[in-house]
Amino acid sequence: MNDDPAVAPATRLHIQQVIEQVGYAPNALGRSLRKNSTRRILILLPSITHEFLAGVARGAEQAARRRGYQVIYSAIHDDVEQERQYVKMLPQHSVDGILFMATCLEAEELNRLAAHYPAVMCNAYREGAKLPYVGIDNEQAAYEVTRCLIQGGCKRIAIIAMPGDFSSQMRLQGYQRALREMGVSDNTEYHAKGDYTVASGARACKRLFSLPQPPDAVFACSDLMAAGVIRRMYEMHLTPGKDAAIFGFDDVALAKVLTPTLSTVSQSRLQLGRRAMELLLKRIEHPEKKQENILIGHKLIFRESTRQIIEQSKQQRKD
């Protein structure tokens, strides 16, 4: 059954005939214990309803299945104790590796884990963690968004970011770099907090557009927060794209059906997941190889939510 070359062909044929007659199937658990391998990967998600990461997870699963691995999904829901229970699956040899798409664990705890077991972070990062990472250059992407808005004539650009979240903080840094380079004041009144949900985008919008000088552009660090901004602007009798340009991040399906359609940063979810899983399997099968981080490309998608105000600004400069 294990293709042992010491077994004579006639004996092998006889054994195979007996296996077929009795309907024998090998015990996968027993085999995994003997080989110290389960051929299973745990993927940790923030929730089961996260549209962007669902696409990333799909790419990861496809890569795993091509290599003969199964995938187990678990959602941590911001519960660090629940996450710790899932992580115990590694030392218990229930899985061969973990792909973190979200984590509540501190860097020190993650580093202890990664020192002994295969683990990779994808689109989520904890500063100080020494795990391999796969994602995009969030700082550069946000820099490009902000620079384009400034070049389009916007001067009071607000940003909605999630405090403590690595991706949001890198996007905030890119936003600030563009303001500095373009000579635009970084007014902290235009810094708003969000948590990647529609509701948090709506709350931020209400505060921003109640300022004495409301923003002429809003850069939300997720499309869902941008959707919340658009909804609340209508409730405040403002027109998104006309009274202020709106820019999102992620290019989820919702971005194409909003009114106005949403300008955003696009990143390949399938590629993110595939590259992250390939890196994790490399860590599992070749643990002696050097750790590496991978950044994949991104592109800015311009739609109706920025078109009108930027075109108006360009026309005013011509006049």
Tell me the residue length of the chain. Answer: 319
Give the list of residues 6+ apart from residue 185 with CB closer than 8 angstroms, or none: 179
- The three-point CA angle 136-141-145 to 5° equals 160
At 303, list the tokens.
């739609």
At 293, list the tokens.
């981080």
Q: Is the pLDDT of residue 29 over 50?
A: no
Supply the pLDDT for residue 258: 97
Mean pLDDT of 95-100: 96
Please write the tens of the pLDDT for every residue from 206-220: 999 999 999 999 999
Beta bridge partners of 159: 191, 219
Supply the pLDDT for residue 30: 45
Q: Is the pLDDT of residue 14 over 90?
A: no
More confident residue, 129 or 36: 129
What is the rounded average pLDDT for all residues in the chain?
89
Look at residue 246 and give its three-state secondary structure. Answer: strand
At 199, list the tokens.
């509701």
Q: Is the pLDDT of residue 95 over 90?
A: yes
Residue 87 CB: number of other CB atoms within 10 A?
A: 24
Please write the tens of the pLDDT for every residue from 98-117: 999 999 999 999 999 998 99
At 191, list the tokens.
């810094």
Supply the pLDDT for residue 291: 76
More confident residue, 19 or 217: 217
In Å, how far are 70, 87, 164 from 160, measured between CA atoms?
A: 37, 32, 13
DSSP tag of 127:
T
Supply the pLDDT for residue 47: 87
At 116, list the tokens.
């002994």
- Select from 261, 285, 216 the least CA-distant residue to 41: 285
Contact present, 244 and 227 (Cβ < 8 Å): no
- If pLDDT is split at 50, 70 and 90, which confidence band does 315 have? low
Q: Is the pLDDT of residue 171 over 50?
A: yes
The model scores a pTM over 0.75? yes
Beta bridge partners of 299: 266
Contact present, 132 and 283 (Cβ < 8 Å): yes
Domains of the chain and any CATH numbers: 9-131+270-297 (3.40.50.2300), 138-263+302-318 (3.40.50.2300)
Give the list of residues 6+ apart from residue 201 with CB closer than 8 angstroms, or none: 160, 194, 220, 222, 224, 225, 226, 227, 228, 229, 231, 232
- If pLDDT is split at 50, 70 and 90, which confidence band does 288 have? confident
Look at residue 3 and give its three-state secondary structure. Answer: coil
Beta bridge partners of 266: 250, 299
C-alpha to C-alpha distance for 64 and 69, rounded to whole angstroms: 5
Q: Is the pLDDT of residue 31 over 60?
A: no
Tell me how far the alpha carbon of residue 313 is from its chain's centroid: 34
Q: Is the pLDDT of residue 227 over 60?
A: yes
